[in-house]
Structures are given as structure tokens and as C-alpha cells.
Structure 1
Amino acid sequence: MNMGFITSSYKSPTNLQLLSFFFLLFNLHASSQSTNSSITHGAMIRDGEIIVSPGEVFALGFFSPTNSSSRYVGIWYYQIPDQTVTWVANRDAPISGNFGVFGIRNGSLSLSDANGTIYWSTDSFPSAGNLTAMLLDTGNFMLSTVADAGDDQNALWQSCTDPTDTYLPNMRVYMNITRGDSVSFVSWRTSSDPSRGNYSMEIDPRGAPQIISWDESRRRIWRSGQWNQQIFTGIPQMRSLFLSGFRLVPVNDDVMYFIFNNPNATPFMRFRINSTGEIEQLTWDEGRLEWVVSLALAFHSMPTV
């Protein structure tokens, strides 16, 4: 009978077969994880979809700030229940409605609506059909060729060189000594509006580098004191908080970068300039489920000399 045939033909899988099966499952899982952390050429993220960094630290997708219906593309902490946005693409050009698409087209990353209107884009690069955009566990989002995926030294564009208001550990803040320019971090206008606000901070590379903050009229309102290879001299708290974390790294005769990569730091730590002009260091408290301000540098309480 058929039932007898089916029963008698069954054989227990060998150890080799089981090993092959689990190896296949592992590779499928790894492939899925890799795909979910990147956007390939021609692929698009639509409103409601996200990509997640390989270690599930950060996510990228569409969001609306509190008390707002406007839509933006941004990066936030994936595992923190209180959505905390660290980078915004179209901060000055929100989309109305849930019809945005974001991806790689014609050699650039771009954000558009259903009508094809472009709200934000990077420069266009010649390797149009060979590009990928990857979200890293550092919170950096980079566009590169497929061969250089994940390599920030050879990235064509990356969010850490086009930041919003937030500095994250392991982010490289580049500056050009010859031209005297540096990456600028600009506050949100309000907690519900990520457009460029009234305050900014950057590292002034002229002479011994120092952090400068400015108001909307480009009036200097605070400075950190000069870098002495260990701390910024106007922030004595750095001796206990960050002494082994910050480094100034030369790239060539013209370019250098600052980086903070203290191995003892929690991954859920960030620095930002807020909408009132304060420079804050915040750490996520798992017990209280909230961000705790560990250090606040307010221009109205700090000397500018």
C-alpha cells in the first residue's frame, strides 16, 4: 500500500545532511541581515519600510517628529523605545503624506514623492550601476561602490560628513587645516521641527583646534578652549569623562579628524547641540528608560574667552 511505501522509504537524515541544512539556514539568515542593512542600486525604501544596521543598533526610514505630520527620512536607535533621531536627510524639505521613496537612482541617493519631485539628494557619481548604501552599527550611513561597501575611507558620501545636530561615538569629524573649514552640527529649530535651528557647533582647525558654537547671526557664543592632545582646556570635566576617548588624527598635511571611540562607552551615548544652544552628552538609562544628561555646556554659563 502507498502508506507502507511511504513509511518504509523514510530514512533518518545523516549528520552530514543535518549539518548542510543548518549551514543553509545560517547563510540565508546572514544574507537576509546583510540585505536589510543596505540599499542596492535601483532598490527603493517606501514610507513604512526601514533598513536596520547589522547589529540592530540603528534603523533608517521615514518618520514624523512629535506633534508633526510632516515626513522625513532619518536614522534612529532601533532598540530604544523612545524614538531618538540622530540624522535627518531632508531636514529643510519635509514631505506631505506617506508617499515618499528613498533610494539610489542615476548615481545618487535621493528622496522623492509619488510625483517624482526630488526633496533631497547627494551628488551624482559615475559608478551608477555599481553603488550600494549601507547603514552601519556606528549610525553612519554611507554610499559607496559595491567593492567598497562599509569602508568609510573610500565612501563616495556618508552621513557623518553631512550631520544634523548629533555626534555619535566613532564618528570622524573632518577638518581642513589649509582652508580652515570643518563639519558643522546645526540644532533642530524646535523639538518638533528638525529644520536648521538657531545654533551650530564646529571644530575650528586654525591653530590648536577647539570647538566653537555660534548663534544664528554667526556670533561666537562659546568655545571649548584649545585641544592639548588630551582634553579641550576649557572643559576640565573631560579629564574624568573622556580622557582616553578623544583623539586628533592627521590624514595628510591638509586634513585631520577628531574621533571619540572610548571602548568603555555604552553604544547608546550621543552628543548634540540642542534647540536652545546647549551642547549635551546624553546616555540611555536602561533602568529608567530615558536619556540622562551626563554633561551640559551652556553658553550662558561658560566663558567665551
Structure 2
Amino acid sequence: MDTITLTQPVKDGDILVSNGETFALGFFSPGNSSNRYVGIWYNKVPEQPVVWVANRDRPITNSSGILSVDETGNLVLLEKDRSLVFWSTNISGVTNDVSSAQLLDSGNLVLFQGQNREVYSWQSFDHPSNTFLPGMKFGLDRKTGLNRVFTSWKSSGDPGFGDYSYKMEFVGSTQLFLYKGVKKIWRTGSWMGDRWSGIPDMNTKYLYNVTYIDNNDEVVIVDIIRNTSIFSKLVVDDFGTVESTIWQEADRKWVAFWSAPIDRCDGSGGSIGFVGDELSCTDIY
């Protein structure tokens, strides 16, 4: 199944699978941790990286978790006795027991209120973790004020909000910035119509078709993968690196094809996007 309802929840041990079987949703324990989290991961590859986490900073310490739609139309993460709420979509809704959440084949978890399946009231793509997937919007919804920010995990065993964040800013020309805490450490440069000025590798042979949208409703970028049979992701990791990888079926592993920042200490001359001359290697790594 790919749908969650009031009467059809996901319990710890259940797996929700998108219609095309590209993504799965369920409970997991990262690294050597015994804590339980609800996450979404790539389903069709042996190495199944988690691309989204619901309860990042509120783990469940046992296997009693339930992800369900409640009487208010929200998606909620509870323990079996329903005494504690570990995570919720927390939107203003109406009491409606036919509301449902569906895992799409894009990796997006969407919440529908009532029987209207055309308009969703919430989506995981608007609340990213550390991973940017093809089809996601990166940037600002001017109507709601929502600015989608990607934040690293604390560590490989803890998906809580880490030190590094990657977000769009709009002072002067629009740019993407990588932060360590409140310090800017790398930037893409401004948008040049077909690529970011600080990323010359974004040429006509780039893996994605990148669309930049700036209108009254939003200012965002959207990456659409050229070959839809390729699995890909861009991750802000806990070491302060933004890295794009693709699944290489021949080698049966994830292979990096772009990353930033390039280590300015390795003599490669890759410091074009660094922010501030005062930064040292230890500031970044």
C-alpha cells in the first residue's frame, strides 16, 4: 500500500511503498542507534539512503510507534497508547475521517484533506531534511513565507538538526549559501540564466535540467533529472559537504559526480565559492 488513513496507519515494522516502488516509508534506526524514526528511503537499491525524516529531534525509544491520520486531518506520529505525540504535520484542519496521506513515486509524502485528491494540504517536499531530490522546489514561497532549508544530520547515527544548512538568500542577487551555524562558508554565486556563476560544471551535459523561477508567487529552483531511470540525490552531510550522487547499477553503489566546497587546503584552487578570506581549513572541516 502507499496510503495512510485514520483506520490504516503505519506501525513499526510496516512498510509503505510508492506506486512505482521507487520509495518506501517506515521506521528505522540509523547507524548503531536503537532509537526509532520515521523516514523515507530509496526502495529499489541495496543501499537505501534515508532522504527524509519526520521526527528528527524526537526519537521513539521503543518499537511502539504508529504513524496515522488523526481526527483533525493531521498526520501524527504516536506511541501505541497515543499518550505522546512525537511529530505532527500541525496544520489547521477539519474533523474528517476520510483524510489520507500518500507516498508518491517522487519521494514526496502528501496529505489530502477530505476526498479531494487534487489539492494537498501538506507535503514533505516543503519540509526537507538533508536531501534534495529531483522535482523538489528549493527556495521561497512568497505567498506563505516558507523558505525551504536543507539541514545536515548531527551524525550518521543521529538525524537530528546538525551544524550545516543549505539555503537560498535574496539580499542582492539570489544565491545559495552553505552555513556552519550562523557563519556563511560557501556560496554558489548568482544565477546566470543556465547555471550558478560559482558552479561552472553546470553545463549542457549536466545531469539535471535546472529551472529557475522568480515571480510574484515564488523564487525557486527545480532540478528535473534528464534520465528518469537514474536514481539521484543531493545531500548536505554532517561534515559540511554538499554532494550530488547517482546510483551506479554496474558497480552497485552510490557514486559522487559533484560536491562542494572543494577543499581549499588541497591546492586544487577550488575556493571560488568560499565566503570570507578569514576562513581556515578547520572552520570548514
Same-fold status (TM-score > 0.5): yes
In structure 2, relative to structure 1, the CA distance for the partners of 1:94 and 1:196 (3 Å cut) is: same
**How many residue pairs align between the two structures?**
265
Runs of 4+ in 1 over 6 A off after TM superposition: 178-181
Contact 2:139 2:167 in 1 (8 A): no
Q: Any conservation in 2 of the 1:71–1:96 contact (CA below 8 Å)?
A: yes
**Alignment-mate amino acid for residue 133 of structure 1:** A
Could you say which residue in structure 2 is the equivalent of 1:9? none
For residue 80 of structure 1, what is the aligned residue in structure 2?
Answer: 45
Match of 1:275 in 2: 238
1:197-216 alignment, distance < 5 Å: 197-216=162-181
Partner of 1:40: 5
User: What aligned pairs does 1:1-305 form with structure 2 within 5 A after superposition?
Assistant: 36-106=1-71, 107-116=73-82, 117-129=84-96, 130-149=98-117, 151=118, 154-176=119-141, 182-216=147-181, 218-242=182-206, 245-250=209-214, 252-264=215-227, 266-298=229-261, 300-301=263-264, 302=271, 303-305=273-275
More displaced, 110-119 or 241-250?
241-250
Name the CA distance, whole Å, in 2 between partners of 1:88 and 1:244.
25
Which residue identity lines up with residue 93 of structure 1 in the other structure? R
Say which structure is richer in helix.
Answer: 1
TM-score norm. by structure 1 comes to 0.81
* Separation in structure 2 between the aligned mates of residue 238 and residue 110 of structure 1, nearest angstrom: 40
> How far apart, in 2, do the equivalents of 1:148 and 1:274 lie?
37
Cα distance change of structure 1 residues 264 and 272 upon mapping to structure 2, 3 Å threshold:
same
Paired-residue identity, %: 35
Q: Structure 2-normalised TM-score?
A: 0.86
Larger deviation: 201-210 or 87-96?
Answer: 201-210
CA contact (8 A) 2:151 2:166 kept: yes
AA in 2 matched with 1:136:
L
Question: Rg bigger for which structure?
Answer: 1
Q: In structure 2, give the amino acid aligned to 1:304.
A: F
Any stretches of 5+ residues in structure 2 without a counterpart?
265-270, 276-285
Native 8 Å contact 1:47 1:99 kept in 2: yes
Aligned-partner residue type, residue 88 of structure 1: V
Distance 1:241 1:247 in 2: 15
Q: CA deviation at 1:60?
A: 0.5
* Deviation (angstroms), 1:122: 1.0
Q: Is the 8 A contact 1:132 1:144 kept in 2?
A: yes
What is the CA distance between 1:42 and its match in structure 2? 3.6
- Structure having greater relative contact order (Cα 8 Å, sep ≥ 6): 2
RMSD of aligned Cα (Å): 2.1
How has the CA–CA distance of structure 1 residues 298 and 140 changed in structure 2, closer, same or farther, with 3 Å as cutoff?
same
Q: 1:273 to 1:212 in 2, by over 3 A?
A: same
Report the CA distance between 1:292 and its aligned residue: 0.7
